[in-house]
Amino acid sequence: MELSDSQRMNLRLTAMRYGARDILLYELEPLDGSVLPPVTAGAHLDLHLPDGLIRQYSLISSLCDAQRYVVGVKRDAEGRGGSRWLHDQARVGQMLEVSLPRNHFPLSSAQTPVCLIAGGIGITPIYSMFKALQQSGRAVHLHYWSRSAEHALFHRELENAPDVTLHFASASGPQSDLQAVLAGLPGETEVYACGPSTMLDQLESSGLGERLHVERFVSAGPVMAEGAFSVVLARSGHEYVIPPGETILNVLLEAGEDVLYSCEQGVCGACEVTVLEGEPVHGDTVYSADEHTRRRSMMICCSSSASPRLLLDI
């Protein structure tokens, strides 16, 4: 099943305001004055758009409260359509269905220093983290790459902040700037990053290991097994063969199984299940393979199996 009605809310779009060039801030409020679930830095929600698209957007937690959720959306003319609909067709007063907030990108509770790295619209979860860390008193420095001041969300708030370095397009280029930032980090510093895939790829190959935490909103696509494998649902004993080129989720849905899912792209985390036996091959961008091993989990919308059989806690 998709996220059930109890896991969705109908909220009214009460404001759309300018954030930066090509970026708008959207405010959503409940109709009846009910209290919204709390939001922590790094959390996101699913927006269910009227044309059937489901898209994930980071909540700007410092602007959210019990009566209001706020997300920032950059119009991407070459994207998959969600941002174009929001920028071109959304109107104040419309009702939009949204999921409950989920947070797969939380700040750790350690007291080590934090380096926050944002590129482009990746500033939305990172800005929330920056405000939360400042409030907690934990040492933090934010590096934010953007094309220009005009394109930088929260530029006015950040331009004179002592713990912020803004990087605009320059002759040296963002990659060399990023390498210089990483080279100057104390060894115990945790790094949280959100931005373009090229930036995150560079970070993941930089040797930071478990000190690095990234969030991606674009999936590389599902991992498909070259051969068939079987999936056994531990709670019912039902067993299904997953043929080459097919996803576990699709096979289970076609069989009428009651499974939770949302984005079907490996970015929202709604379809995470516990793996009791077997060796999954992960295709999502929510967790690293090591983190999945620690959690004993997989996302069934986009992941496959290296073993002939998976036993899942479904």
Q: List, for residues 264-298, the tens digit of each pLDDT value.
A: 888 888 899 999 999 999 988 888 888 899 999 99
pLDDT tens string 119-139: 999 999 999 999 999 999 999
Would you place residue 177 in the very low, low, confident or very high pLDDT band (cuts 50, 70, 90)?
A: confident
Q: pLDDT value at position 194?
A: 95
For 289, phi then psi, to 5°, come to -60, -40
pLDDT tens string 17-45: 999 999 999 999 998 889 999 999 999 99
pLDDT tens string 90-106: 999 999 999 999 998 99
- 244-249, long-range: CB within 8 Å, 24+ apart, which pairs? 247/222, 247/300, 247/301, 247/302, 248/300, 248/301, 248/303, 248/304, 248/310, 249/300, 249/301
Q: What is the pTM of this model?
A: 0.81
23 vs 187: CA distance, rounded Å: 35
pLDDT tens string 201-243: 899 899 898 899 999 877 667 788 788 999 999 999 999 999 9
Predicted confidence (pLDDT) at residue 187 exceeds the cutoff of 80: yes
DSSP 201-243: HHHHTTT-GGGEEEE-SS-------SS-EEEEETTT--EEEE-
